[in-house]
Amino acid sequence: MLIRKLFKFEGAHIVRNCSSHRCRENIHGHSYIVEVFITSDKLDRGYMVMDFVLLDKVKELVDSFDHTYSLWQEESDELKTFIYKYNRRVAEIPVSPSAEGYALLFLYLIDKILQNTEHKNGEGNVRLSSVRVHETATGYAEAFREDLQLVNFNIHDIRFSEAIREEWKDDQWWEGIR
């Protein structure tokens, strides 16, 4: 059985090395929709794959990108300095912040969160199936479990600014998945 949970965030970025001059040469933003698809081989005692309340850390993760500048680690030092000087909410990430990059990044991180989620209600083999990131109303990218092989980074390559970390209800959730 498969369940889906939807999250949203507003974010800004530059997508370097893409075909479009507008995207690769200008800071711009989107209203993102992140869909998380979770599967299990059985239902829990409540006849659910898992209770959505157990996705509170996923919500915290996605919310960390809300009204945030996603800064690709490969950017120039000059741009990095500018971004950090004029933005309090910065997520420095090891992938280009395209819809595909976000989908892979979220797949990787949400998989780690689910692996560290305690299940107490008779859940089965709960697994992340895919993550779909809508960048616009007409386009999205979806990363599947098998796409984890494309990950060439680790969790230590992802940095959230102090302003983001200060808003976390419990900053130990991030350390718990590291």
- Does the annotation count 18 as an active-site position? no
Q: What is the secondary structure of 4-42 as a DSSP string?
A: EEEEEEEEEE--TTSS-HHHHHS-EEEEEEEEEEEE-SS
- Does the annotation count 67 as an active-site position? yes
Task: Name beta bridge partners: 20.
Answer: none
Catalytic residue, chosen from 35, 60, 67, 75, is 67
CA pair distance 90, 78, nearest whole angstrom: 15
- Does the annotation count 135 as an active-site position? yes
The residues, any chain, with a CB within 8 Å of residue 153's CB and separated by 6 or more, are 94, 95, 108
The set of catalytic residues is 23, 67, 135
